[in-house]
């Protein structure tokens, strides 16, 4: 591989890292806590490329290689893809294909009290964790608000879902909640983002159904997709 090709690859790769980091699209791939490392990696790679280019310009009399440089250019395709194509975050296709995220026991033995408001906003992960592990019955008869995207796993059924990741999108697993009680649910297109006010149907999350609880929908409204669509 010619040195010019190496330098260009480094420059484009570093630029791609900086683009997805500063543009916010990195949230489709990794957790927000990895932003500083992604930004630092992009700066280091660009710095190495600039240093190499300046060095080669100064050493313009250095020997050139005659190897065929066509194949190295294929390495540019993934880099160009990052610049030109913005892949969407994981959505309903991933939910219907993957098993639900296994509920994890909380680190604390006791859950904090729910906020006193009439219908507090909970993440789907927190809601599911409380459904499985909170023996106090705090959710029974309590209205809560949940946000996620629409999934139709089968005709006539609708779920609210979020993708939960541990490190990056490669380990994403869906958190699912069955929705019932609203006649307009089946008319919502898949991947539509909604906020529902709902009440838990106690005892509906079991090992047999992969711990997917059911809720009765009291209110529903479409919302814009958040910048960060994942939960952690």
Q: Residue 73: is its pLDDT beyond 60?
A: no
Q: For strand 143-151 and strand 214-222, is the pairing parallel, antiparallel, or unpaired?
A: unpaired
Structure-model confidence comparison of residues 214 and 61, the more confident one: 214
- Mean pLDDT computed over 190-210: 94
Lowest mean pLDDT among 32-41, 68-77, 108-117: 68-77
Q: Which of 95-99, 183-187, 224-228 has the lowest mean pLDDT?
A: 95-99
Average pLDDT over residues 156-179: 88
CA-wise closest residue to 149 among 213, 198, 93, 99: 93
Q: DSSP string covering 140-173, please?
A: TT-EEEEEEEEE-SSTT-EEEEEEE-SSBGGG-E
Residues in Cβ contact with 121 at an 8 Å cutoff, skipping those fewer than 6 apart:
144, 145, 146, 147
Beta-bridge partners for 147: 195
Between CA 229 and CA 162 the distance in angstroms is 7
**pLDDT tier for residue 66 given thresholds of 50, 70 and 90:** very low
**How does the average pLDDT of the chain come out, rounded?**
81
Q: What is the pTM of this model?
A: 0.70
Helix/strand/coil percent split, the chain, to 5 = 40, 20, 40
Task: Name the residue with tokens 């992969």.
Answer: 210
Average pLDDT over residues 57-72: 56
Percent of residues, the chain, with pLDDT higher than 70: 78
For the ranges 8-17, 37-46, 88-97, 213-222, the lowest mean pLDDT is seen at: 88-97
Are 218 and 143 within 8 A, CB to CB?
yes
pLDDT, residue 232, reads 85
End-to-end Cα separation, the chain, in angstroms: 41
Has residue 46 got a pLDDT over 60? yes
Q: Given this model, what pLDDT does residue 101 score?
A: 58
For 121, phi and psi rounded to 5 degrees? -85, 120
Q: How far apart are CA 52 and CA 149, in angstroms?
A: 46
pLDDT the model gives residue 200:
97
Mean pLDDT to the nearest integer, 127-144 = 93
Write down the pLDDT at residue 221: 94
Q: Where are the beta strands (DSSP E) in 5-156?
A: 143-151
- Report pLDDT for 106: 62
Distance CA 63, CA 81 (A): 33
Check: CB of residue 230 under 8 Å from CB of residue 165.
yes
Query: To the nearest whole percent, how much of the chain has pLDDT over 90?
Result: 37
Q: Is residue 70 over pLDDT 90?
A: no
What number of H helices and E strands is found in the chain? 5, 6
């Amino acid at each position: 591989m010619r040195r010019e090709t190496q330098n260009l690859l480094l420059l484009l790769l570093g630029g791609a890292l900086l683009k997805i980091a500063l543009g916010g699209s990195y949230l489709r791939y990794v957790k927000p806590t990895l932003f500083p490392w992604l930004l630092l990696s992009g700066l280091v790679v660009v710095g190495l490329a600039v240093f190499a280019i300046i060095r080669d310009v100064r050493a313009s009399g250095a020997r050139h290689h005659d190897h065929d440089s066509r194949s190295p250019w294929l390495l540019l395709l993934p880099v160009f893809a990052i610049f030109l194509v913005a892949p969407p975050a994981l959505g309903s296709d991933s939910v219907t294909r993957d098993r639900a995220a296994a509920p994890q026991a909380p680190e604390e033995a006791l859950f904090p009290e729910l906020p006193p408001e009439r219908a507090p906003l909970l993440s789907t992960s927190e809601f599911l964790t409380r459904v499985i592990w909170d023996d106090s019955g705090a959710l029974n008869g309590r209205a809560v608000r949940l946000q996620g995207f629409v999934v139709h796993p089968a005709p006539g059924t609708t779920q609210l879902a979020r993708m939960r990741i541990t490190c990056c999108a490669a380990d994403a697993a869906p958190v699912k909640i069955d929705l019932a009680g609203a006649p307009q649910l089946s008319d919502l297109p898949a991947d539509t983002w909604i906020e529902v006010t709902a009440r838990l149907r106690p005892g509906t999350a079991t090992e047999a159904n992969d711990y997917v609880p059911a809720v009765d929908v009291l209110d529903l409204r479409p919302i814009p997709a958040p910048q960060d669509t994942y939960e952690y």
